[in-house]
Structure 1
Amino acid sequence: MRILSLLLGTGLLLSIVACGSTNNVQPQLPYTPVNVALQLTSQQYAALRNVNGAVVLPSGSSGRVDGGGIKGIIVVRQADNTYRAFERNCPYQPYSACALVSLDPSGLFMKDTCCGSQFSLQGQVTGGPSGLPLLQYNTSVQGTQLNILN
């Protein structure tokens, strides 16, 4: 009888903890195909010639994203021939119209002014309510071309 009570109590405690943790679950970003090629020698992407240099590929006026992704892409040069490409749609409340990540004018981090989330140049959360890092796309360099894919 004592074992049964202990098992029931443990089960009840686990179900309460499990139910309470669902409040921290963030919705997933919708899937969208990404297939972008940037010519690194272009003056348009001159910032990518320096480590920690970044460029923003904005969304187009017709709702179509010129740079791919959901709301555009931020590309950051991490090191020689190493680039990271991040979705601009903030993972915290991604269906909000204002959930848009931008490069801070300092160039030292990325932020979403809507929810206040901040992200490192590696896409990790450094502040604000987001519990998830930025969605990262695959990158590869072939000669002077940077390819961004998912």
Structure 2
Amino acid sequence: MAEVTIFHNPACGTSRNTLALLRHAGLEPRVVEYLKTPPSREELKQLLAEMGMTVRQLLREKGTPYGELGLADAKWSDEQLLDFMQQHPILMERPVVRTALGTKVCRPCEEVLELLPVGPIAPFTKQDGSVVQDPGQRRG
């Protein structure tokens, strides 16, 4: 089976739930704590291509320096936005999960279900007590 990777921020509840859901499914992903080990510029471009997203779509506003850096202004090119993401990895939306079935931002954590190479899985209880049911629908 191809490797499963999660670009993870342990301070983020959604990221923690997504990692726990992957493990609940019997997978042990490669965990990239992207704040400590940010993806390279080329890796960011590859992730964006795999997800079919623009750089701006991968930018996170909440809890980041997005506002103080003036990133809402349309004057910034994709290359400049990538520069900001390299300087401030917290600007990358999380968690991003890559499996053999695709790559996507998994917000909410249930989004990871369509990327699981296994399944269906048993119900999963998130940190807030809500239960995730796996409908068994996968990409591919």
TM > 0.5: no
TM-score, with length taken from structure 2: 0.25
Higher gyration radius (CA): 1
Instruction: Tell me which protein shows more strand as a share of its residues.
Output: 1
Instruction: Tell me which protein shows more helix as a share of its residues.
Output: 2
Q: Which has the higher contact order (CA 8 A, sep 6+)?
A: 2
